[in-house]
Structure 1
């Protein structure tokens, strides 16, 4: 299943929340390990040296066209033609296949208005932190105190396609949870999309793929 040259996406987490996402490639495989080049941070475009014992999620697109995911950790490093990290190779039982349309998440700041279907609660005018075919996260300005898990709302998102063209995407969303901010990140609210039709979901997925391609182009120069 694993081949030299295969692209991997690594996601690290802090306090249960996504912290950073990296891109790397498999340089060599052994019985127990995958040897990967030093991961490149998608946000900064810089290589990162993950410490021994670091745990993270790894995902890749298999030959079957599906996205597969597993949990791994850094077990060491060595010098081949280039310096590489050794990460644990998963067993077949440790692999998880996930829906590709739910997977492609991009960090992006978009204007969004969220209107509760309960008229007694205030609307939230804010910006997104990330978005995928399955849902989104937005900056919480304190309005979440009026909301609770499971609240169903209407979200209107401005999707820009270039400097002068944009469209309004309107969808029903359900609140998953509110997360208190830290010194290095704002408070946020996560939502999942409800009852999207295929046209709506394809519109979001297309936008996410296009933004992801932009990020990769910047990383690869």
Structure 2
């Protein structure tokens, strides 16, 4: 499903500046052509400030359909135009075959070895690697000496890298769902998020979306 005229787009702009890359903007689709969507100038969701775009700017975009499904795609700025005094930005239309969709209550999960800091008491803290990552939770691998039980609550900090080179530290509180003992002798611990801000969750979803596109382009 492609976005339509008058639909709202939400997106982040690729930048080497971590703070800039994390800002979510929104724009209404005002018009379209065969290969491009014409959007109004973006406005920051948090500050309400308008953002100027430049030719070639890369965008990580999503829109939400009436049934609550988020559709993600990559795009870039291909031109500009002015119509009835309104300045519009032309961005490349998405390829339907390369779009990813995420249900409101179900999140895309991707295999990923990311650095994770875990704390489950004042005395016990350690670093480990994730096994997979998603917008609703993650799994990680750790030594058997770290004892986890179902419903144990832990504090975590996840190191999330993006394709533009920026890196984010995502804090969250989670609950242990299941623990599997692997043949390697290590534990695989599956956890679900129980306290995470929407902004931090979007960073993880953005990483999953970028990683999914990587796999499709191989």
Shorter-chain TM-score range? 0.5 to 0.7
What does residue 7 of structure 1 align with?
8
State the partner residue of 2:202: none
CA deviations 1:156-200 (Å, max 9, x no partner) are xxxxxxxxxxxxxx9435553288xxxxx998455584546xxx9
Whole-angstrom distance in 1 between the partners of 2:147 and 2:105: 22
Q: Could you say which residue in structure 2 is the equivalent of 1:54? A: 57
Once residues 93 and 153 of structure 1 are traced to their aligned partners in structure 2, the CA distance between those partners, rounded to angstroms, is 43
Q: In structure 2, what is the equivalent of residue 177 of structure 1?
A: 159
C-alpha distance in structure 2 between counterparts of 1:173 and 1:153, whole Å: 15
Per the alignment, do residues 204 and 178 of structure 1 end up closer, same or farther by CA in structure 2, a change over 3 Å counting?
Answer: closer
2:90 to 86, 89, 101: 86
Alignment match, 1:98: 102
Which structure 2 residue ranges, 5 or more long, are not aligned? 108-117, 127-133, 178-191, 200-218
TM-score by length of 2: 0.54
Instruction: Provide the alpha-carbon RMSD of the alignment.
Output: 4.4
- Separation of aligned partners in 2, 1:8 and 1:118: 43
Would the aligned equivalents of 1:41 and 1:48 in 2 still touch at CA under 8 Å?
yes
Aligned length: 156
Aligned to 2:48: 45
* SS of the residue 1:93 aligns to: helix
What is the TM-score normalised by the length of structure 1?
Answer: 0.54
Contact residue 74 and residue 86 of structure 1 kept, 8 A: yes
In the aligned structure 2, how far is the partner of 1:94 from the partner of 1:178? 22
Shift of residue 134 of structure 1?
Answer: 3.3
Per-residue CA deviations over 1:135-176 (Å, capped at 9, x if unaligned) read 6xxxxxxxxxxxxx857899xxxxxxxxxxxxxxx9435553
Is the 8 Å Cα contact of residues 134 and 192 (structure 1) preserved in structure 2?
no
| Separation in structure 2 between the aligned mates of residue 50 and residue 188 of structure 1, nearest angstrom | 27
Answer yes or no: is 1:67 the counterpart of 2:70.
Answer: yes
User: Unaligned stretches of 5+ in structure 1?
Assistant: 104-113, 123-131, 136-148, 155-169, 180-184, 210-221
Work out whether residues 77 and 84 of structure 1, in 8 Å CA contact, stay in contact via their aligned partners in 2.
yes
Q: 2:23 maps to what in 1? A: 20
